[in-house]
Amino acid sequence: MSNGKSKKVLRIVTNIILVIILIGATQMFFDNNYHNDHYGWLFILAFWMVRCLYEFIINIQDGNKKSAVFDLALLIVASYFFISGIDYL
């Protein structure tokens, strides 16, 4: 695959995953069981992690090293909070 085609496939797959995660978070926030709100926040953190990973990959491919390092730092922070949130359960 060419570079342009691989970026398009990556974008489409990432957007599908992000939409599924947002639908899951919305479902968790607006159900009758208030204990599921914690899961909703974990879904939002998962959304943030997937988005940062996507941006990291795109910035590496484009050669933007400073932006890639920033996205990697955000990914690490989101992963820390995600793992801390799972430990809380």
CA distances from 19 to 7, 23, 34, 75 (A): 18, 6, 23, 19
The predicted pLDDT at position 45 comes to: 94
Is the pLDDT score of 3 beyond 80? Answer: no
pLDDT at residue 1 tops 80: no
> What's the chain's length in residues?
89
Kindly report the pTM of this predicted structure: 0.85
52 or 89, which is more confident?
52
> What is the full DSSP assignment across the chain?
--HHHHHHHHHHHHHHHHHHHHHHHHHHHTSS-GGGHHHHHHHHHHHHHHHHHHHHHHHHHHT-HHHHHHHHHHHHHHHHHHHHHHHH-
* Rounded average pLDDT over 14-29: 95
